[in-house]
Amino acid sequence: MTDSATLQDDGLLAQRIRSGDRAALGEVYDRHASAAMAVALRIVADREGAEDLVHDTFVAIWQKIDRFDPARGSLRSWIVTIVRNRAIDRLRGTRPSIEIGEADERSLLRSGPNPTWESAMARLGGIQLRAALDELPAEQRQAVELAYFGGRTYREIATITGVPLGTANGRLRLALARLRERLSQTEAAPIGAGDER
């Protein structure tokens, strides 16, 4: 869970990193490396490889901190997106396919970011988020996990699960719509207490 104070502090830390403050990068690492490591390890299933990805991600953050736009999302979200993309590239055996400046696709939008996802991250812990994912129909959950953690395209998901392309794509759309609706409700009536992260 990342509360509003943490988000605010992250903004200050990002600014310190911009000014060349190495200690600030260390603080950012201490805050977010475990989340980045969880994503990397889930994707590459190799601890040493995951640690290399985390290391390389934070080096990239140091080098390209000027590409971080707090108006488009949190520092944690940016870090996780970068490590996820790098892990998928490693899984696929491809060269980095996305420039770090493009890591947050929300920069493509003319409007501001949709607050649902960041708000859920800020308000809820892993248990609540897992509960929301668990409530998805099994085929939708399988589709989003194959996509996000497996690096599978919807075309590949269609082949793996033996459904038409439109069905595979539709499952991803429906899954996100259901998840967003569930998380919005959860913000109004939180599920239990937040877990410690």
Partner 1 sequence: MSEMTHSQVEELAGAFALGALDPDEEAAVRAHLAECGEAHPEMEAALGAGIVMAESLDPVDPSAAVRDRLMATIEGTPQAHRQAVAQPVRQSRRGWLDWLSPRVARPLAIAAMAAVIAVGAWSLGLQSQLNQRDAALRAVASAISGGQAAFRVEGNAGRGYVVDTPGRGAALVVTDLAELPPHRIYELWLLNPAGSPVAVGTLTSTDDAIAVVQLERDLSGFSIFAVTVEAERVAAPSSDPVILGVLGSS
Contact with partner 1 (CB under 8 A): which of 7, 86, 175, 186? 175
Find where tokens 């490889």 sit: 49
Contact with partner 1 (CB under 8 A): which of 44, 75, 85, 186? 85
Closest CA to 100 of 61, 46, 136, 129: 61
Q: Please say which residue, 100 or 189, places its beta carbon nearer to partner 1.
A: 100
136 binds partner 1 (CB under 8 A): no
6 binds partner 1 (CB under 8 A): no
Start-end of H helices in the chain: 4-18, 22-44, 47-63, 75-92, 115-123, 126-134, 138-148, 154-161, 165-188
29 binds partner 1 (CB under 8 A): yes
Contact with partner 1 (CB under 8 A): which of 10, 58, 75, 136? 58
Q: Please say which residue, 189 or 197, places its beta carbon nearer to partner 1.
A: 197
- Minimum Å gap between C-beta 136 and partner 1 is 11
Q: How far apart are CA 61 and CA 35, in angstroms?
A: 15
